[in-house]
Amino acid sequence: MSKDSKKNSLSNSLIRPISNEKWQPISIPLVSIIISFIAAAIVILVMGKNPLQAFYNLFQGAGILPKPTYAGYKSMLTDFLSLLNAMTPLVFASLAVAVAFKAGLFNIGVSGQMLVSGFLATIIVGYSGLDAIMAKPLVLLIGMIAGGLMGGLVGWLKYKFNINEVVSTIMLNYIAQYVISFFIQMYYIDPVSRQSKYIAEVSRLTLVNVEVANLKMDIPLGFILAIIIAILIKFVMDKTVVGFEIKAIGSNRNAAKYAGINVGGTTVLAMVISGGLAGLAGVTYYLGYFSSIQPKVLSSIGFDSIAVSLLGNSHPIGVIFSSFLISVIDQGNTYMSSQAGIRQEISSVIIGLILLFSACGEYLKHKVSRVKEKEVDRKESEA
């Protein structure tokens, strides 16, 4: 066999698992994850550690695998529920980015939308003294409205004045960060924690330290809602006129306008939906996973969600799985560090590698199409 033949054979064997276009939204991220874990294993080996043991400890820390021992009132179930609690706002935030991507927009202002929604829900409901039956739904409603209004403003600026959404969202992030920091430090600061005063437990979207079967667990009420909304977003995008119009303007705005689609109105609507999802991320984060707001700090979830959405191919169901994977790595890194003797920064290396290889998705699709074209040409020449 010639050198070129061997090279082509190797290339084809590597490309074959992702050659089916129908399954590429799943196969390409999966291949990216496998390659990234192999690369991370090499890094861990270079450090003189056992990568299999490190990954095992990582999954133990996230509640996927059992630990040898647990503290009082804790178990693998409590660790897993903590994982879902951390994952919930990430799912909402990643869905927000995904919807904007579908419309050809880049919502980099998710962190600011989260902060505004969380702050308004905190001062309106968190400090109000309402009972749980009224408080929890009202928190969700305020989050959606506040985030939707901020997202709609970005969409309107894009439509009316053609202001790039990246610029406007970054500016709104800064405005939200410092204005809200001013109000917290002036009126709502806790003198001990130097954060906003803690909200009432009845308005919190996570049930904390619920005692069941001699276990104390945190139950994230927003998790089921996140799954339902992801399925709803998929339905809207695949089966409704609105979803078709959003994807049409994302593919080609000029062609969509020529086809009679209201590009401006659809742009605003897409950003309203994106902002509303970011608002839900905000209330499940600041009134769920946490119960207060740190001044002058934007949540990293708003920026992580961009990468998570890319890993999930901006597909609502893909976003759930990619959020789960990133949350597992993020939540399990402390235990991995303590048990395997590996620095916590390795988890960031793993996440970075996953996202690096995921960013090569379009290149892989191009490579697949090129291999198929060469195969067709070869068969035609042989015939």
Residue of 40 and 190 predicted with greater confidence: 190
- Residue 14 falls inside a structural domain: no
Whether residue 285 is predicted with pLDDT greater than 70 in this model: the reply is yes
Q: Which domain holds residue 136?
A: 24-368
Give 354's pLDDT tier (boundaries 50, 70, 90). Answer: confident
Kindly state whether residue 160 falls inside one of the protein's structural domains. yes
Helix count and strand count (H, E) for the chain = 15, 2
Structural domains counted in the chain: 1
Instruction: Report the C-alpha gap between 162 and 145 in whole angstroms.
Output: 24
Residue 343 pLDDT more than 70?
yes
- The answer to whether position 28 is within a domain reads yes
What letter represents residue 59's amino acid?
A: F
* Radius of gyration, alpha carbons of the chain: 23
Range with top average pLDDT, 267-276, 332-341, 358-367, 369-378: 267-276
What letter represents residue 2's amino acid? S
- Beta-bridge partners for 220: 206
Tell me which of 33-47, 90-104, 160-174, 339-353 is least confident: 339-353
The answer to whether residue 102 sits within a structural domain is: yes
Whether 377 is in a domain gets the answer no
Neighbouring-strand partners of residue 189: 196
Residue 13 has pLDDT above 60, yes or no: no
Helix, strand, or coil (residue 215): strand
Helical segments of 3-131, H only: 3-15, 24-46, 51-61, 76-102, 110-121
Rounded to 5 degrees, what are φ and ψ at 208? -100, 135
- Summarised one tens digit per residue, pLDDT across range 45-94 is 988 889 999 999 999 999 999 999 998 899 999 999 999 999 999 999 99
How far apart (Å, rounded) are the C-alpha atoms in residues 128 and 121? 10
Q: What is the CATH number of the domain that holds 85?
A: 1.10.3470
- Output 43 or 371, whichever has higher pLDDT: 43
Q: 320 lies in a domain? A: yes
pLDDT for residue 262 is more than 60: yes
Note whether residue 281 is domain-resident: yes
Task: Give the chain's mean pLDDT.
Answer: 89
Q: φ, ψ for residue 237 (rounded to 5)?
A: -70, -35
Q: Structure pTM?
A: 0.90
φ/ψ of 189, rounded to 5, equals -75, 140
Q: What value does the mean pLDDT take over residues 194-205?
A: 95
Residue 301 lies in a domain: yes
Is the pLDDT assigned to residue 313 strictly greater than 70?
yes
| Per-residue pLDDT at 195 | 95
14 band by pLDDT with thresholds 50, 70 and 90? low
pLDDT in the model for residue 264 = 92
> What's the pLDDT tens digit per position in 113-140?
999 999 999 999 999 989 999 999 999 9
What pLDDT is stored for residue 10 in this prediction?
Answer: 44
